[in-house]
Structure 1
Amino acid sequence: MTVEITGDEQSAQEVLFKIKQWDHAICRMNIEEIIQLCAKDVTLFDVGSQLEGVMSYQEMWERYRPYFHDNIRVYRREIKVYAQPNLAFLRCYSKVDKIEIEQDNQVPWCRTTLCFEKLDGKWKVVHQHISMPVDFHTQKAVMLHF
């Protein structure tokens, strides 16, 4: 996994630590912990939805709960962090998949952006954007391969 940092190194390292906490909370489907890492006015642009506010964000994770099983992990590739002392964003390719990935696994990679703001001394997610490229002729997702 490669990580490239532009800007304030200390802030970038703090954000990378928050991403580890974020990924760990997702793998355990600890929705309370996920929400604690977010600002109250967090927004999300997702592959299939758009929402605003921490309560809507929590409801979305509750809907996702049945699809998350034991032995999963968040995979990230080509992480780039742009950081200033109070504002940062991270972009990468990511997916949630089984810990032991099988060769024929078809879980797609998504393009991911997480925006952070330092609020009361703590980094909080203020915006998340997840997308997948689409072939406009077939209207189907394009699988990213690495």
Structure 2
Amino acid sequence: MDAATLTRTAEDEIGALIDQWREATLARDIDRVMACYAPDVLAFDAIGALQFKGRDAYRQHWQACFSQMQGAMTFEISELQITTSQDLAVFHYIARCGGTCDGEEKSGWMRVTGCCRRTRGPWRIVHEHFSSPFDPMTGQVLNVGPA
């Protein structure tokens, strides 16, 4: 197998991991969501704490997020880019995420960057960063989406 084929296969595997994660998120399946992360994941989420160290801490955060939205979850991925090199990979995309609460959809566009590592097995997310653009003068999150 040549290097281009190996790179394409790794990119396909990362894409499948992101799809698995998205489907698990929409289904609120915490075990399937957490299966996408390495035990030592470091996550910078847009809500809650400054950072979450380890899968157990991130699990608690995800459970709190799931409990905030009683209705259907929203998670759309746009502009996904994946770059791989042997056993490390980087991805980024624009996401519209949120859910329905009291019959009203609450969602917004966010920027997502992540790193994956493959160690004697499947790819796992080792770092993830969600952020929302905001106005530094007012502190208000900007309601902007992909161009």
Structure 2 length-normalised TM: 0.83
Offset from partner CA, 1:30-50 (integer Å, 9 cap, x none) = 111111111110011111321
Q: How many residues align?
A: 136
User: Do structure 1's residue 34 and structure 2's residue 38 form an aligned pair?
Assistant: no
Name stretches of at least 5 consecutive residues in structure 1 with no aligned partner.
1-6, 100-104
Partner of 2:22: 23
Which residue number in structure 1 is paired with residue 109 of structure 2?
A: 109
Q: Could you tell me how far apart the structure 1 residues matched to 2:58 and 2:106 are?
A: 26
Name 1:126's counterpart in structure 2.
Answer: 126
| Amino acid corresponding to residue 47 of structure 1 in structure 2 | A
1:65 aligns with 66
- Give me the CA root mean square deviation: 2.1
Greater mean deviation of Cα atoms: 121-130 or 88-97: 88-97
Distance, in Å, in 2 between the alignment partners of 1:37 and 1:137 is 37
Relative CO higher for 1 or 2, CA cutoff 8 Å, sep ≥ 6?
1
Aligned amino acid, residue 84 of structure 2? A
Percent identity at matched positions? 23
